[in-house]
Amino acid sequence: MDLLQRLFKIENGLLVRLFQDSFRKQFKWYALAMVGMVVTAGMTASTAYIMREIVNGVVVDRDVLKTMGVAGAVALIFVVKGASTYLQTVFLSRAGNRIIADNQREVFDRIIRSDLTFIQSRATSDLLLRVTHAAQAARSVIDTIVLSFVRDSLTIVGLVIVMIIQQPLLSTVALVLGPLALVGTRLLISRVRKIMEMEMASLGEIIRVVQEATTGFRIVKSYGLEPVLTRDMDRSITAVEKRANAITRIEAATSPMMETLAGIAIAGAIALSAIAVIQNGNTPGELVSFMTALLLTYEPAKRLARMRVQIEANMVGVRMLFEILDHPIELKEAPDAVDLPAGPGFIRLEKVGFAYRGGPAILKDLDISFEPGKVTALVGPSGAGKSTIINLVMRLYDPDSGRLTVDGHDIAKVTFKSLRRRISYVGQDPFLFAGTIRHNIALGDEAASEEQIVEAAKAASAHGFIMSLPNGYDTDVGENGRNLSGGQKQRITVARAFLRNSEILILDEATSSLDSESEAGIRTAIEQLAHGRTTITIAHRLSTVARADHIVVIENGRVVEQGPPSELLRTDGAYRRLYTYQLLPDAGPVANLTGVAGT
């Protein structure tokens, strides 16, 4: 590995690490492939060597029996070479495909285990590129090196031995000219890395534009944005095309050098052959064997000359791969984490402080209690920290200071699985996974029976519309539920939460994206879902939290007011002002809400 490191000058030990991580794990398959390569290289050299016997047996000796024996040997050489080539291809592909699969699993595992900050800080297109192209690049680098150092190098060595045996003088000419091609190739390398980095960026742009065009299709159509996205896509595709052509030109530039040097070598061999055969008494078979070996050397030598260019082009993807794999997992389970015991679901935030990485404090010494069996509503202006609180409860982040407990247990000391099994979540944008309605509801509890799934759907007032669909519970929801309406999707997410049957329920503006009629229907289902559970709800529309047991008003990361809604409306505080502005905008900030407060 140190030899490879010095030879290719790959910084930060990436090449060594790639071989240690990937090649070592698949060594068995690579070893079998290399056995096939050794045999293939030997048969290629034998092909050149046996040309002497063919020519001398037919042209010089005119020996039919000897020629027949040579013909049989030729057939055997090609049968063995074909079998070994097949085996090396199969084993090499098996190893390479496993490397791709393993790297894709590792990258996805790293992504799925990361915290919310990591996901929000990276474009989806960038992550997709790393899962696909970067994993493929790792395989390509190893394959290039293995094929070049084993198959091509051994083939050249075998052929050079044949050349030296047959014509030592002519071999000297070829061996002097050959290495000059490698010197020329080095001059082309410096441009490859920068071009590939720009190409990767352009590929990411292509993925981004496709995502925006599909997920924002209604906006694209309603605002007539087709020309804008078409222009963006055309610019990105053109950039990828230009850089791909540039890489091709660089790789192709090695061919003229090899062609020129090969032509000079062959011309010199032909010129010197007169001396070798006519004056020195060498046989024609020796000359033909030498020329065959020289010509067969051309292709593997050309591949060796291009090897560095190909490796450098793919190392950009390898760097992208390791950037993800090396990103630290900041949200970790404690080494001695235990399962969260069963309990009523009493949640307590004690002196909690939190700030996003490198940003100002979002929460400051926050003390809040969420009592079992009650609905607690978090209200306040945008950016006050409401969503951050529920993210901390679900442990998508860890607080910078203070602690968060469930039934007296610090959630930083319990397992992720046991904590999240106690929580059901219904968000503002109802998210459905690819598959059927049944599949999406059953994600609440994968062990649930068909009867339990149906009961959950009935509780969510979803059973009726589901049965009206042609395929009922087997209806394909489409990508992110595009085959269903917003209200239908939200009912399925509520059914999922019913099936989960957790003690803690988190509602993040669960009805804000719905029309009034859909909201009224789903609100009834949600009220039934919240009954008897520790429920935390966020809503900008205060009408949706009017029946909450407890209101907590958050401003600038602090609790400025809390209590039952009826009590808060009797005082001239933050909640009353918000209520006035939203529900009685013409009444002014000092409206008489005595009658409202009693409702």
The pLDDT score that the predictor gives to residue 41 is 87
Do the strands 401-406 and 558-563 form a parallel or antiparallel pair, or are they unpaired?
Answer: unpaired
Residues 63 and 155 both lie in one domain: yes
291 and 381 housed in the same domain: no
Mean pLDDT of the chain: 78
For residue 594, pLDDT beyond 50: no
Show which of 277, 298, 325 is a domain's final residue: 325
Q: What is the DSSP string of 548-576?
A: -SEEEEEETTEEEEEE-HHHHHTTTSHHH
Q: Is residue 10 part of a domain?
A: yes
95-105 b/e (C-beta count within 10 Å ≥ 16 → b) = bbeebbebbbe
- Residue 161's pLDDT band (boundaries 50, 70, 90)? confident
Angstrom distances, CA of residue 308 to CA of 74, 311, 373, 409, 516: 35, 5, 67, 57, 64
Element (H, E) at 401: strand 401-406
Q: Given this model, what pLDDT does residue 430 score?
A: 82
Grade residue 282 by pLDDT with cuts at 50, 70 and 90.
low
Which sign, positive or negative, has the C-alpha torsion 398, 400, 406, 410?
A: positive
Q: Are residues 19 and 168 in the same domain?
A: yes
In a domain, 369, yes or no: yes
Residues 161 and 97 in one domain: yes
Percent of the residues in the chain that have a pLDDT greater than 70, as a whole number: 76
Greater model confidence, 133 or 596: 133
**Residues 201 and 313 grouped into a single domain:** yes
Give domain status of residue 230, yes or no: yes
Is the pLDDT confidence value at 191 over 60?
A: no
Domain closes at, from 325, 348, 378: 325
CB-CB contact of 422 with 340 (8 Å): yes
Encode pLDDT of 34-69 as tens digits.
898 899 888 888 888 887 777 776 666 666 677 777
Do 281 and 295 have their domain in common? yes
- pLDDT level of residue 598 (50, 70, 90 thresholds): very low
Instruction: Say yes or no to pLDDT of 172 above 90.
Output: no
For residue 389, is pLDDT > 90?
A: yes
Contact 117, 362 (CB under 8 A): no
Answer yes or no: are the C-beta atoms of 106 and 130 closer than 8 Å. no
Structure tokens at 452: 């339990």
Looking at per-residue pLDDT, the higher value among 175 and 312 belongs to 312
Query: Is the pLDDT confidence value at 290 over 80?
Result: no
Residue 189: is its pLDDT beyond 60? no
- Residues 112 and 147 occupy one common structural domain: yes
573 and 555, same domain (yes or no): no
Q: Is the pLDDT of residue 368 over 90?
A: yes
Q: How far apart are CA 152 and CA 158, in angstroms?
A: 10
CATH of the domain at 351: 3.40.50.300
| Confidence at 597, pLDDT banded by 50, 70, 90 | very low
pLDDT of residue 145: 85
Output 410 or 186, whichever has higher pLDDT: 410
pLDDT at 267 (0 to 100): 64
Tell me, yes or no, whether 75 and 178 share the same domain.
yes
Structure confidence at residue 587 (pLDDT): 47
Listed residues 325, 352, 374: the one ending a domain:
325
Q: Is the dihedral of CA 439, 444, 450, 456 positive or negative?
A: negative
- Give the per-residue pLDDT at 327: 78
Q: Is the pLDDT of residue 257 over 70?
A: no
Answer yes or no: is pLDDT of 198 > 70. no
User: Is the pLDDT at 181 greater than 70, yes or no?
Assistant: no
DSSP string of 143-187, one letter each residue: HHHHIIIIIIHHHHHHHHHHHHHH-HHHHHHHHHHTTHHHHHHHH
Which CATH number fits the domain that encloses residue 193?
1.20.1560.10
In a domain, 402, yes or no: yes
Tell me: pLDDT of 507 over 80. yes
Q: Are 242 and 348 in the same domain? A: no
445 belongs to a structural domain: no
Task: Tell me what pLDDT residue 179 has.
Answer: 58
Instruction: Say if 506 falls within a structural domain.
Output: no
What is the pLDDT, as a whole number, of residue 353?
Answer: 93
| Arithmetic mean of pLDDT, 332-360 | 89
Cα 102 from chain centroid (whole Å) = 12
Band of residue 412 on the pLDDT scale cut at 50, 70, 90: very high
In a domain, residue 410? The reply is yes
Of 382, 383, 315, 360, the residue nearest 136 (C-alpha) = 315
What pLDDT is attached to residue 180?
56
- Residue 551 structural domain: 340-422+534-563
pLDDT digits (tens, 9 = 90+) for 77-106: 889 988 988 888 889 888 888 888 888 888
For residues 40 and 167, membership in a common domain is answered with: yes
Tell me whether residue 408 is in a domain.
Answer: yes
Percentage of the chain surpassing pLDDT 90?
Answer: 16
Contacts by residues 413-417 (CB-CB < 8 Å, ≥ 24 positions apart):
413/334, 413/336, 413/337, 413/338, 414/337, 414/338, 414/339, 414/340, 415/333, 415/337, 415/338, 415/339, 415/340, 416/333, 417/339
Is 252 found in the same domain as 159? yes
Indicate the range of 157-161, 272-276, 579-583 predicted with least confidence.
272-276
H helix or E strand, kind and range, residue 510: none
In this predicted structure, the answer to whether residue 158 has a pLDDT above a threshold of 60 is yes
Using the predicted structure, report yes or no on whether residue 506 has a pLDDT greater than 50.
yes
Would you call 55 helix, strand, or coil by DSSP? helix
Q: How many domains does the chain have?
A: 3
**Mean of the pLDDT values across residues 462-470?**
90
pLDDT of amino acid 467: 93
